Chain A
Amino acid sequence: MTGKASAPGAGKGLALPQVPKIAVYLVGFIPAVWLFSAGIMDRLGADPMRVLEQELGEWALRFLVATLAITPLRQLFNINLLRYRRAIGLLSFYYAALHLTTYLVLDQGLDLAAIAADIVKRPYITIGMATFAILVPLAVTSNNASIRRMGGQAWARLHRLVYAAAIGAVLHYILVVKSWPPEPLVYAAIVALLLGYRLVRSMVKKAAPRRRPA
């Protein structure tokens, strides 16, 4: 499913105008730049630190969902965005790193004892940290050299960890809120759909093996 990491985008599917990948990064970082500058200028409302922390986390989840959507978009709707997947995935990692940094530095003021207690005692922090830990090896190996060195199959196996990260991210979100506000549930439903699609597809494939088109 995720095997063809660096497949050229032009070969198959809808003819989409190609934009340079750097543009994806530039656009992708707009929310972070906006949030930081709005925070510094005191334009994030009464509790700016919390807004920054939450928004960065939500953007990490949005980009994670976007990377998971790329395969179904190609398989179901013939829309091929594969060439941007690495950039989007890395954006998710960068936002997760900013989210974590905000928690460590601005929220907890680098109070190591409080942070350690949080990690041990608060399931949502434990899950959040574990999710970030999963994203690290994926980000580190998101380059052509790593694919060559590891071999495509091993690389693809490693990168299936993104499914665990997606589940971790939505659990982290659901556990941090009071009651059942709609936003985390909507993300949970989208992730369930995107992962469920893969599960169903792999089961169907096992039941009726088919030769891949060349």
Chain B
Amino acid sequence: MLIRRPSDIAPSEITPREVYLNRRQWMAGAAGLALAGALPFRLEAAPLTAAKSAFSTDEKPTSREDVTSYNNFYEFGTGKDDPAARAKSLKTSPWTVKVDGLVGKPAEFGIEDLIKSSALEERIYRMRCVEGWSMVIPWVGFPMADLVKRVEPLGSAKYVAFETAYRPEEMPGVQSVFPVLDWPYVEGLRLDEAMHPLTILAVGLYGETLPNQNGAPIRLVVPWKYGFKGIKSITRISFVEKQPETSWNKQAPDEYGFYANVNPNVDHPRWSQATERRIGEGGLFVKRRPTLPFNGYADQVASLYAGMDLRKFY
């Protein structure tokens, strides 16, 4: 189809920054975009201005369609297409992220302020799911380290704990009779992992604010770890002394570790991690490709784990 998609237009050409950050005003423009042929679910998406980054891969990004329709976000159901179908019910505005714990300057950030006050970058990262498939996603976000510095962690802070919103009335998956996970979803990083320049808090993809199914309005992206570490729709970030609990580790400790670094040599107990299928590559006849240690980011991150037995700390 020869429909001109908004992502082809440089975001700066459409709407000045001050305007698009104002959702109400922006909605008027969205109606025009919708008439121009934009898909209905993109009504909520607002363009973001982001600088290119040297950390980006030059691999071909997975299509926006696949990135936004094939998701694991169990708060909205366990099916891959459940989040795209059901996450619209999540109200992402207003939204605040509470940052607390062992920090000098605890704070509550409104999402608009956080976006406005951060230097956004486009980071095109590989994403490897623990289930054996992968994508290449052009995220828009800012280094987690920027946020860490703003709240001034105390010397006693060794780990960062993250928490997803818990809203049964907006999240059909958490109402399930069979609770698939212990809600709310929680994740964690070691402080040095959180500070690593590759670790970002993403607020968008493909040049626009995050669709709900991808973890709007703000999510974690740690490209050398399995996708489940990338906690979505974050409402709280706490700096703590002890290693925090993480959702999948609580669910099945022998299958999902705290570290969850992508590692082709350490199999999931029930399936191999040696290879992966790149989504959108080959369709029905997709060929598996070898999975790389630390998802191909070993040069930058392997030193974080020097001397650790990666079979034990999986």
Q: Which residues of A contact B (CB under 8 A)?
A: 39-40, 42, 44-50, 52, 106, 108-109, 111, 114, 117-118, 121-124, 175-182, 185
Contact = CB atoms under 8 A, between A and B. Distances in A.
Interface of B: 62, 65-66, 69-70, 74, 78, 80-81, 130-131, 133, 176-178, 180-181, 248, 251-252, 267, 270-272, 274-275, 277, 279-280, 283-288
A46 B284 contact: no
Give chain B's interface secondary structure class. loop
Given A52-B284, A106-B285, A182-B176, A47 B270 contact: no
Give the 8 A-B residue pairs with the shortest CB-CB distance, closest first: A46-B70, A46-B66, A181-B78, A39-B284, A179-B180, A48-B284, A46-B279, A42-B283
B127 to A, nearest CB: 12
A179 B279 contact: no
Contacts of B270: 122-124, 175-176
B283 A180 contact: no
B180 A49 contact: no
A176 B131 CA distance: 10
15 contacts: A39-B283, A45-B70, A47-B277, A106-B286, A108-B288, A109-B288, A118-B271, A121-B272, A124-B270, A178-B130, A179-B180, A181-B180, A182-B78, A182-B177, A185-B178
Contact of A47 (B74, B176, B279): B279
Contacts of B267: 121
Nearest to A35: B284
Contacts of A48: 283-284, 286
Contacts of A118: 271-272
Contacts of A177: 78
B50 to A, nearest CB: 24
A199 B121 CA distance: 64
A192 to B, nearest CB: 16
B133 A180 contact: no
B178 A44 contact: no
Contact of B284 (A106, A108, A178): A106
Given A45-B70, A49-B284, 12 more contacts: A39-B283, A45-B81, A46-B280, A47-B279, A49-B285, A109-B288, A114-B272, A175-B270, A178-B130, A179-B251, A182-B178, A185-B178
B80 A180 contact: no
Nearest to A111: B288
Contacts of A182: 78, 176-178
Contacts of B65: 46
B133 A47 contact: yes
Contact of A44 (B78, B284, B285): B284
Contacts of A179: 74, 78, 180-181, 251-252
Contacts of A122: 270-272
Contacts of A49: 277, 283-286
A40 to B, nearest CB: 6
